[in-house]
Amino acid sequence: MSPDDLNLIAAMLRERSGLVITVDKAYLVESRLLPVARKRELAGIPQLVAALRRGGDADLVREIVEAMTTNESFFFRDGKPFEQFRDFVLPRLLQARAATRTIRIWSAACSSGQEPYTLAMILAEEKARLAGWRVEIVATDLSTEILQKAAAGLYTQFEVQRGLPIQLLVKYFKQQGDRWQIDAALRAAVQYRTFNLLDDPAPLGRFDVIFCRNVLIYFDQPTKTKVLDRLARQLPADGYLYLGGAETVLGICDRLQPVADNRGIYAPAAVPLKAAG
């Protein structure tokens, strides 16, 4: 791949999705974009980039951006954050929201749905405590293709073997040929929408808990700051933000602070140290 072609693709990806591509990732770009070229019956990457340079093809831009996303996800990813959700976050919200009996949860960058469905299963397991409550799970991703997979709720044997306790597989999934489909009630409990984290989330409304895990790692620091500032604005003072194990707000966003003794959970800072732009 020529340096010029790589630069063009990298600039487009940074602008459209926040993804930062460095020179050493040329092989990754080539391997991900070759199928996009083939699908359009183009001979290879140079022809694909030429089509992009001609401009005006919004579908091509979208296909390239989607092809470059990493959609790796699994049920109960990292275990602990979801235990904390059940044992620390949920009890506090049940107390704090007793007047409205409403809780809104956002799985931002939900990929193929394992994260929102993990939450839906935890809530289903807690249904006695949640009787009479309205709990909304909004799940968003940049990629419309991955959202279709999420909404279908169909997973391979490999996917259901990663992190999902066997008793929950038996309880909430049905075998469909060589795949497993999550219960219709749990599918209906999650609202899927396309949303780019580079955009303003204000139209989605406020959320008591936001999961934004394993996506900020792909962004540069100014983008992380911008996204985190905006997520913080969608949280009430007693809301919670979850980040992935390799992500933090420290040194990146003063509007949020770590929750003591709960690694990976952040809360709005009482007094932001500096105003965000």
Ligand X SMILES: C[S@@+](CC[C@H](N)C(=O)[O-])C[C@H]1O[C@@H](n2cnc3c(N)ncnc32)[C@H](O)[C@@H]1O
Residues binding ligand X (CB under 6 A): 17-18, 69-73, 77, 109-111, 115, 141-143, 146, 196-198, 213-215, 244
CB of 277 to ligand X, least distance (A): 19
Q: Are 135 and 105 within 8 A, CB to CB?
A: yes
Q: Between 134 and 193, whose beta carbon lies closer to ligand X?
A: 193
CB of 219 to ligand X, least distance (A): 8
Q: Between 90 and 146, whose beta carbon lies closer to ligand X?
A: 146
CB of 107 to ligand X, least distance (A): 7
CB of 10 to ligand X, least distance (A): 14
Q: Between 53 and 193, whose beta carbon lies closer to ligand X?
A: 193
Q: Between 17 and 262, whose beta carbon lies closer to ligand X?
A: 17
CB of 65 to ligand X, least distance (A): 8
Nearest to 17 by CA among 178, 235, 195: 195
Nearest to 146 by CA among 211, 212, 192: 192
CB of 212 to ligand X, least distance (A): 7
Q: Between 60 and 198, whose beta carbon lies closer to ligand X?
A: 198
Q: Between 17 and 225, whose beta carbon lies closer to ligand X?
A: 17
Q: Between 143 and 248, whose beta carbon lies closer to ligand X?
A: 143
Q: Name 102's Cβ contacts closer than 8 Å, sequence gap at least 6.
A: 133, 134, 135, 136
CB of 88 to ligand X, least distance (A): 19
